[in-house]
Amino acid sequence: MGVDVGSVSTNIVVVDEAVNVISSQYIRTNGQPLETVKAGLKTLQRRFPDDGVIRGVGTTGSGRQLVGVMLGADVIKNEITAHATATIQFVPDVRTIFEIGGQDSKIIVVENQMVTDFAMNTVCAAGTGSFLDHQAERLGIPIEDFGDKALSADRDVRIAGRCTVFAESDMIAKQQFGFSKAEIIKGLCEALVRNYINNLGRGKKLEPPFVFQGGVAANKGIIAAFEKEINHQVMVPEHYNIMGAVGSAILARNEVKISGNATSFRGFQAADLEFVPATFECEDCPNHCEVIEVKLDGRIVARWGDRCGKWTNSVSAIA
């Protein structure tokens, strides 16, 4: 089982030994990662009454640490590792991975199935799916129709895409000059891609095969904009929107195989356990690290956040 806990959505997948996806859930996180994953576990329990079917668990995403503790994950890996692992599984000769989600975006450079370079955007919304969502709302067009609208445009129009504020001002100006919504949408798609390549791809050698994944990969207008910008075909894998979760499931499978140990998965009953997070500030040195700890039945089961490892390394003695 692989779980990708993001700020916008949580993806939970179950794959078999050959990495065929046999169960997939997309759930809105809504700021409650624990409750979201618990709901997903209950859904899985109805489909797989015997939790022994789960031979390994991996977590990734911004909420991977907390959810990893809750599930008893065998591996807890960052998004770069998880996304690259999944992409290499399905496209073994991939060289460049474009990933755009709701709140962040990534570019991953691969050589001989090894990550050699990467960059992430977690600050500027103009290079993420939320940028398109916001503009779709302003234009009164469902985001699902954005791609087809962009492809139907007769003329090119350049929209300033360095930030959402500039984009909105430019959109209004272009509308006043008589450009259609379809043409403006096409311009927005190209602006997002331009922003993405200029920011994340700067200084990197981007080579084919190119793979595009993440929720935004469903948008045909963005795919067309990428192919226009890099002058090359871009592939979109079958499981483009759940690649992080699939990658973490693969990593869990590999970990259990290599170690020879049984999974640490707590079972579907983890959905009924009460995990309580808390924080405190360590005053043992000038760093004043904020330490996060998680309790189960009043017992500390995880700590992280300190730079020196003092509190993190003390968990095994407590748990």
The string of pLDDT tens digits covering residues 142-162 is 777 878 888 888 888 887 766
Mean pLDDT of the chain, nearest integer: 88
pLDDT at 119: 92
* Tokens encoding 312: 């993190």
The string of pLDDT tens digits covering residues 168-177 is 788 778 878 8
The string of pLDDT tens digits covering residues 202-240 is 889 999 999 999 988 989 999 999 999 999 999 999 999
pLDDT at 294: 86
Place of tokens 């809504």: 30
57 to 13, 70, 298: CA distances (angstroms): 10, 11, 25
The string of pLDDT tens digits covering residues 77-125 is 999 999 999 999 999 999 999 998 877 889 999 999 999 999 988 555 5
291 to 47, 72, 250, 262, 309: CA distances (angstroms): 38, 20, 30, 30, 10
**Of residues 62 and 80, which shows the higher confidence score?**
80
- 75 and 255 Cβ atoms separated by less than 8 Å: yes
pTM of the model: 0.86
